[in-house]
Structure 1
Amino acid sequence: MGIVAGGGAFPAAVAEAVIAQGREVLLLLIRGFADPALERYPHQWFRLGSLGSVTALAKARGVRDVVMVGALTRPRVSDLGFDWTMLRLLPRIARLFRGGDNHLLSGVLGLVAEQGFNLVGAHEVAPGLLLPQGVLGARAPSAQDRQDMARGLDVIRTLGPFDVGQGVIVVDGFVAAVEAAEGTDQMLARYGDMRRTGRLRFHAGRGVLVKAPKPGQDRRVDLPSLGPATVARAAEAGLAGIAFEAGGAIVPDVQALIAAADAAGLFIFGMDRSGQK
């Protein structure tokens, strides 16, 4: 199994899950993003633009299946460091950057598939990373929180065709922030700033961060993710809790997530696709 590794804890979590299944792994570590600690696994570093050389190496090492996991910010075309294979594909790659993340990631998956690999999702090879339905931890959402969850899920589904982000903050029925190119962390910081400056006058302990995949999103890449850092930022922003689509979000360590939420006094809730239960 080839694991194309970006930043964060997910590449190691996926690697451990695959190894536990008795499979060998080769971690393809993206320079500038992957954690050097991943060198404890069989690995190879590469630059984003070196598709030809890294795929040749992976084939030589017997890789058949490939999973892409970990944080990766959208690069500029000029930063990719092209090898000859990528230079031949340059017009096509440039077109991939003229759109949202779904457009870009789907195009990248297509390029990888054309090299002869079977592309799989992190949730397929490591289903234990998927968050379940229901209340996780000591706190449960209120009736108003549940209404806010459903509204947030409606917003994500409505904006999905425009390839907007996977997160939204809803407070007492009011859509207070929508995730775009800045990502979840910066959206939470923006909401917190609006509260602190009086632009929004919501008391602490109100409102929900809702995370869910966009409609039509290829779930092999870029599933919503949660972790203790997300909980800390939601608490700093003054929210009551975090809701996610059950089976549509991943976490590297669910017990650490629950412990962080309990310590911060936040609820963590897995919605079914209707936004309830």
Structure 2
Amino acid sequence: MSASPKPPEGGPAGPEAPAPGAPLAIICGGGAFPLAVAQAARQAGRRVVLFPIRGFADPWVEAWPHAWIHIGRFGLLTRELRRRGCRDVVFIGNVLRPRVRDIRLDWTTLTLLPRVFRMLRGGDDHLLTSVGRLFEEAGFRLVGAHEIAPEILIPAGRLGAVAPDAGQMEDIELGRRVLAITGPLDIGQGLVVMNRHIVAMEAAEGTDLMLARVAELRAIGRIKMPTRCGVLVKRPKEGQDRRLDLPSLGVRTVEGAARAGLAGIAVEAGGVIVSDVEALLRAADAAGVFIHAFARDEAGDA
């Protein structure tokens, strides 16, 4: 047996590389990212099998080779992966954390139930890393969506017509530093800064609902800053397995930032994914919102 490949940053060593021509398995949540990854893999000449998660994946998956799956049926899924000849596995798309009573267990998962309970006791990074470890122990190799479709990674620099000013750059730097501290605590991947004041942090609600909360705080007078003040800052958590979960940015987030009265959005270049960068920039320019992508190794990281 050949040596295992060097694992991507943040992840444990995986199994031996698959045979040439083996199909790529994409475990699909909702949204446009699974389609972007599937198309990139096919354009690169690789066969693809989608495993859409019931209740989350979108109907377009029916046009691709696919097998619907339920959360909690780990044994059935791994048997289907092997039957299809899949060794490499990508996780991509929106999936909400399940409640225990909503998980439809098969016998394999029942035997893992104590471990499942431990997986659910912690933040999202803890949960996803634990799920990824199960797949690796079963003989599969985890591959980051950005490794298959590097074009979904947001590039560095100013990305639209509007640029942040000096004060907004200070807010961005503060946000980056705070996220570098809170990331290892598995809290969230985003926050809102206004005039060097943290006014909101992302938790279980996600970015869009956090922005809605900021808009509500403005409406009721708890935030008295003028409009076009403040920055949404997003970046991956320090030390997280980037194969399993990268923060995303889309038109809805731009619209939410505009409704919240923010001046712009700052994200880590190469650490945030976007399914349609042209649509993103059109929305940002129309709303007068800047999008700035900072380098990961800029001064200020913890």
Q: Would the TM-score normalized by the shorter structure come out above 0.5?
A: yes
- Write the distance in 1 (CA, Å) between the matches of 2:243 and 2:125: 11
Q: SS state of the match for residue 91, structure 2?
A: strand
Q: CA RMSD in A?
A: 1.0
- Write the distance in 1 (CA, Å) between the matches of 2:299 and 2:35: 31
Which amino acid in structure 1 is aligned with residue 193 of structure 2? V
- Write the distance in 1 (CA, Å) between the matches of 2:146 and 2:85: 22
Alignment of 1:188-207 (within 5 A): 188-207=211-230
- Write the distance in 1 (CA, Å) between the matches of 2:216 and 2:69: 38
Preserved contact between residue 164 and residue 179 of structure 1 (Cα < 8 Å)? yes
Match of 2:73 among 50, 58, 67: 50
- Write the distance in 2 (CA, Å) between the matches of 1:69 and 1:49: 17
Match of 2:123 among 84, 87, 100: 100
Correspondence for 1:133: 156
Match of 2:147 among 124, 139, 143: 124
Correspondence for 2:56: 33
- Write the distance in 2 (CA, Å) between the matches of 1:190 and 1:222: 24
Correspondence for 1:59: 82
Correspondence for 2:194: 171
Match of 2:40 among 17, 36, 41: 17
Query: What whole-Å deviation, never above 9, does each CA across 1:112-139 have from its counterpart, x for those lacking one?
Result: 1122111011111111100010000111
- Write the distance in 2 (CA, Å) between the matches of 1:54 and 1:160: 31
Correspondence for 2:234: 211
Which amino acid in structure 2 is aligned with residue 252 of structure 1? S
Correspondence for 2:273: 250
Structure 2: give runs of 5+ residues left out of the alignment: 1-23
Query: What whole-Å deviation, never above 9, does each CA across 1:94-151 have from its counterpart, x for those lacking one?
Result: 1111111111110000111122111011111111100010000111111111110000
TM-score, structure 1 normalization: 0.98
Correspondence for 1:228: 251
TM-score, structure 2 normalization: 0.90
Shift of 1:11: 0.4
Query: What whole-Å deviation, never above 9, does each CA across 1:187-242 have from its counterpart, x for those lacking one?
Result: 10111100111001011111100000011111011201001111011111110010
Shift of 1:275: 6.6
Correspondence for 2:207: 184
Number of residue-to-residue matches in the alignment: 276
Shift of 1:161: 2.0
- Write the distance in 2 (CA, Å) between the matches of 1:244 and 1:8: 20
Which amino acid in structure 2 is aligned with residue 34 of structure 1? A
Preserved contact between residue 149 and residue 275 of structure 1 (Cα < 8 Å)? no
Percentage of pairs with the same residue: 55
- Write the distance in 2 (CA, Å) between the matches of 1:92 and 1:144: 47
Query: What whole-Å deviation, never above 9, does each CA across 1:67-103 have from its counterpart, x for those lacking one?
Result: 0000111101221100111011011111111111111
Which amino acid in structure 2 is aligned with residue 207 of structure 1? G
Preserved contact between residue 68 and residue 121 of structure 1 (Cα < 8 Å)? yes
Correspondence for 1:145: 168
Preserved contact between residue 48 and residue 80 of structure 1 (Cα < 8 Å)? yes
